[in-house]
Amino acid sequence: MPFASSACLGRATCCRWEWTILTAILANLLVVAGWGEYFPWAIPGLFTQGLPLPPVSYWIVILTSLAGMGITYFGG
């Protein structure tokens, strides 16, 4: 959702690609550093690997999704 928000607010499709590449790089770096369970875009990858995640990880994904939907709906 934040990718759609950046495209709406930036009025360009390249904003979406820049955010996608940046978050993919950050997700990989934060997983290696041990902070992946607290970064919303790294959590699905950790979940699919079957790693145990703390409950806060699920709340981070939910709140990030709600924030992105709100920004997309009200900001664009």
d(CA 43, CA 18) in angstroms, rounded, equals: 20
pLDDT top residue among 71 and 3: 71
pTM of the prediction? Answer: 0.73
State how far the alpha carbon of 25 is from the alpha carbons of 10, 66, 72, in Å.
21, 23, 23
Q: Where are the domains of the chain?
A: 2-71
Q: What is the pLDDT of residues 56-74, one digit of tens each?
A: 999 999 999 898 888 778 8
Q: What is the pLDDT of residues 17-35, one digit of tens each?
A: 777 888 899 999 999 999 9
Check whether 42 has a pLDDT greater than 90: yes
Count Cβ atoms within 10 A of the Cβ of residue 5 and give its class: 0-12 exposed, 13-18 middle, 19 or more buried.
buried
- C-beta separation of 60 from 69 below 8 A: no
